[in-house]
């Protein structure tokens, strides 16, 4: 669950989920994800296990929510909005993904491979939703659904950004964002 969804929730629910996300974030600074238990998270959040399960199915769901929320916050701080027509907004999304992955993969996931699929899923979901919302603002005549376009673009952006992060002596993020934008723009038709 991302922050945009959480905004509509009761303030107590938002506060509890923030406590849980924060607890997990702090625990990740101390130990590997695979060694963190639900009880560790609940204790760090000063909540009980039952409260944890009232909000999340497991620690993987909490991780995806934490990543999605943090990535959404980065995009919001940068004022990134996609209305379906602007290459500069698309480039800002690509740049956000590159910068986020560069920071997260360097600090949190380098020793925590178990987290990587959940990081991927959360970031792709945020990008997909942003692209889809933009496409719905400016409907196009196409035989390809907006959902298919948004999914294709979001995975392409994530995959390119992930490859860029793993490239030694890589070009600056602004430069790769320009290249990736050029690559994915034709997908919109």
Reported as a single tens digit per residue, the pLDDT across 1-60 is 444 454 567 899 999 999 999 999 999 988 888 899 999 999 999 999 999 999 999 999
Give me the mean pLDDT over the 92-100 stretch: 95
> Rounded CA gap, 181 and 52, in Å?
40
H/E element, 29 = helix 11-30
Q: Where are the domains of the chain?
A: 3-58, 78-188
Q: Which CATH architecture has domain 3-58?
A: Orthogonal Bundle (1.10)
- The fraction of the chain above a pLDDT of 70, given in percent, is 92
Instruction: Write the pLDDT tens digit of every residue in 107-138.
Output: 554 556 678 888 899 999 999 999 999 998 88
Question: Which one, of 3, 42, 4, lies nearest residue 23 by Cα?
Answer: 42
Distance, CA of 5 to CA of 125 (rounded, Å): 13
Tally: H helices and E strands in the chain: 9, 0
**Rounded average pLDDT over 144-151:** 94
Cβ-contact 55, 65 below 8 angstroms: no
Q: For residue 1, what pLDDT is reported?
A: 43
- The CATH code of the domain at 78-188 is 1.10.357
pTM: 0.84
Kindly provide the b/e burial profile for residues 7-30, where b requires at least 16 CB atoms within 10 angstroms of the residue's own CB.
eeeeeeeeebbebbbebbeebbee
């Amino acid at each position: 669950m991302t922050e945009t969804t959480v905004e509509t929730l009761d303030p107590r629910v938002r506060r509890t989920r923030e406590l849980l996300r924060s607890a997990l974030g702090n625990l990740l600074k101390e130990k590997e994800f695979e060694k963190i238990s639900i009880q560790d998270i609940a204790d760090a959040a000063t909540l009980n296990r039952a409260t944890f399960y009232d909000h999340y199915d497991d620690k993987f769901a909490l991780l995806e929510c934490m990543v999605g929320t943090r990535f959404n916050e980065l995009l919001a701080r940068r004022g990134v909005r996609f209305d379906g027509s602007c290459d500069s907004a698309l480039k800002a999304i690509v740049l956000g993904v590159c910068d986020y992955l560069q920071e997260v993969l360097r600090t949190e996931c380098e020793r925590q491979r178990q987290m990587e699929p959940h990081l991927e899923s959360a970031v792709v979901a945020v990008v997909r939703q942003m692209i889809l919302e933009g496409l719905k603002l400016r409907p196009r005549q196409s035989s390809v659904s907006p959902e298919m376009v948004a999914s294709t673009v979001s995975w392409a952006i994530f995959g390119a950004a992930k490859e860029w992060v793993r490239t030694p002596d890589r070009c600056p993020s602004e430069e790769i964002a320009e290249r990736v934008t050029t690559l994915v723009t034709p997908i919109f038709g």
